[in-house]
A and B are shown apart, each in its own frame.
Chain A
Amino acid sequence: EDQVTQSPEALRLQEGESSSLNCSYTVSGLRGLFWYRQDPGKGPEFLFTLYSAGEEKEKERLKATLTKKESFLHITAPKPEDSATYLCAVQEGSNYKLTFGKGTLLTVNP
């Protein structure tokens, strides 16, 4: 069974203090790894899809990387508006189902 573990569960940063979120996964035949951002009471917002080890994608202050066992979401010089829960999900083989981790709650203080 696919498993996704995210760490830390919660992270509090000062504005401008860079850090990384971790997503470890176990899946037989990774089709894709996805990062989403979720604000309280809202649906997840798509950020990135990564398909193979070594792949990197960037968007504003966020950069996602992928290895064979984990993915990192690097946040450079975060701002208070980056505060949200960041969710990681995997998709296996020909199955379109997404298996999510519990998320990391990021708080960026001004």
Chain B
Amino acid sequence: ETGVTQSPTHLIKTRGQQVTLRCSSQSGHNTVSWYQQALGQGPQFIFQYYREEENGRGNFPPRFSGLQFPNYSSELNVNALELDDSALYLCASSFPGSDEQYFGPGTRLTVT
């Protein structure tokens, strides 16, 4: 049990729509990262937030955006959904000064 929760568990959207995924970290985890995991692949880094500011981004277009809130929760927003956005979306959080990232159970997004 990592103490990291995500909602919803599953989601089905239509191409062109927008989606918001949510993550709640453990109290005190001030860093949160989001990853996309396609079927049969390892997770790919989308971006990281530290103290409510974006602290690094992977090779994802601007239609992927995020927010981090003071209560250790965060959001991943994806605009103009494409079929290839279908994946498991994972958030991971860390204690200050720790390298270890603890993952939530993920949100399975299907785009039709």
The answer to the question of B55 belonging to the interface, with a C-beta cut-off of 8 Å to chain A, is yes
The SS class assigned to the B binding surface is: strand
Cβ contact within 8 Å between B31 and A34: no
Contact pattern, B 77-103, Cβ under 8 Å of A = 1, otherwise 0:
000000000001010101000011111
Task: Please give, as numbers and ranges, the residues of chain B lying within 8 Å of A100 by CB-CB distance.
Answer: 42-44
Task: Please give, as numbers and ranges, the residues of chain B lying within 8 Å of A95 by CB-CB distance.
Answer: 56
**Distance to closest chain A CB from B13 (angstroms):** 19
Cβ contact within 8 Å between A102 and B56: no
**A side interface size, CB within 8 A:** 24
The SS class assigned to the A binding surface is: strand
A77 to B106, CA, bound (A): 31
In chain A, positions 63-110 with a C-beta closer than 8 Å to chain B are 87, 89, 91, 95-103
- A sample of 8 inter-chain contacts (CB < 8 A) reads A34-B101, A41-B106, A43-B6, A44-B103, A49-B100, A96-B33, A97-B33, A102-B42
Contact surface of B with A, Cβ cutoff 8 Å: 2, 4, 6, 31, 33, 35, 40-45, 48, 55-56, 58, 88, 90, 92, 94, 99-106, 108
